[in-house]
Amino acid sequence: MAKPIIVANWKNFPHSLPEARALLKSLSKKKALFAKTGFFIAPPAPYLELVSQSFARPASQDLPMETQAPQTGALSPEILKSFGVRLAILGHSERRALGESSQEVADKVKASLKAGITPLVCVGERSRDADGEYFSALEEQIIGSLAGLSKKEAEKIMVAYEPVWAIGKSAGEAIEPQDLSEALLFVKKVLSDRFGRKSAEKVPLLYGGSVEPRNARALLESGVSGFLVGHASLNAKAFQGIVEALFEK
């Protein structure tokens, strides 16, 4: 089996460089454990250098849309690459909540591929309804966020299924493994219909939304290729607990 992919999404934490350094130091005590995974940390940009010098691979939490024009406040793919970034989280629900559209996500996916950075495209419904109507919103989001991609390009992306209602809660409020299996099948079907089965099969599907030590193993067994971990990745003990759970005999 391929190594599970674990991406720590630090969002806008920890609050200071010394805290980030201390967190990395604690995590590095379990370096050998993390080495059993494809391990990335997506820190706030000012901590990229620190992460790039650690045992983790650095990832970006976003990317600018392609432009040659000067853009105050933006980072370029070239800057990110110079810190070793080869993976970018795109279309996270917290960015979509700020107004990022699926078309903008699709443009960033293109720019990312062009720059040689693997896009990790986040999709997920805001809420669920008993009639399953959320499936059509999810489908629309997937298709929209991958608009304009060729089959060959689609084979180079990763997708994170992150139901918005399950983000930032606790394991008890996260998705149930059987619901995750169902959602994964749906995402795979949408990708297959759009890009063909052969290409769709090459896309690793991650899950994100309140992954903690006590639900990690069962969620992995639902067939995901790995996890995008938010709050638990900021707590060394909890984060190690997640990875340990994946390899428990």
Q: Pick from 118, 210, 222, 240: which binds ligand PGA (CB under 6 A)? A: 210
Based on its alpha-carbon atoms, the radius of gyration of the chain, rounded to whole angstroms, reads: 17
| The two structure tokens encoding residue 154 | 């689609």
- Rounded CA-CA distance 71/173 in Å is 40
| The two structure tokens encoding residue 44 | 């706030």
CB of 82 to ligand PGA, least distance (A): 25
Closest CA to 59 of 38, 36, 30: 38
In the bound state, the residue with its beta carbon closest to ligand PGA is 230
> Is position 231 annotated as part of the catalytic site?
no
Q: Is 61 an interacting residue with respect to ligand PGA (CB under 6 A)?
A: no
- Burial class of residue 117 (count of CB atoms within 10 Å of its CB; 0-12, 13-18, 19+): buried
Q: Is 211 an interacting residue with respect to ligand PGA (CB under 6 A)?
A: yes
The answer to whether residues 149 and 110 touch, using CB atoms and an 8 Å cutoff, is yes
CB of 69 to ligand PGA, least distance (A): 30
Q: Is 208 an interacting residue with respect to ligand PGA (CB under 6 A)?
A: yes
Q: Pick from 162, 191, 215, 224: which binds ligand PGA (CB under 6 A)? A: 162
Q: Is 43 an interacting residue with respect to ligand PGA (CB under 6 A)?
A: no
Q: Pick from 6, 9, 138, 146: which binds ligand PGA (CB under 6 A)? A: 9
> Is position 15 annotated as part of the catalytic site?
no
Give the nearer residue to ligand PGA in terms of CB position, either 61 or 199: 61
Q: Which stretch binds ligand PGA (CB under 6 A): 61-69, 73-81, 193-201, 226-234?
A: 226-234
Closest CA to 6 of 230, 236, 237: 230
Q: Is 242 an interacting residue with respect to ligand PGA (CB under 6 A)?
A: no
Identify the active-site residue in 100, 162, 212, 231.
162
Identify the active-site residue in 15, 66, 78, 92.
92
Taking the alpha carbons at both ends of the chain, their separation in whole angstroms is 15
- Rounded CA-CA distance 170/173 in Å is 5
Cis peptide bond N-terminal to 14, omega within 30: yes
- Rounded CA-CA distance 218/30 in Å is 22
Q: Which residues are catalytic?
A: 92, 162
List contacts with ligand PGA (CB under 6 A): 9, 162, 167-168, 208-211, 228-232
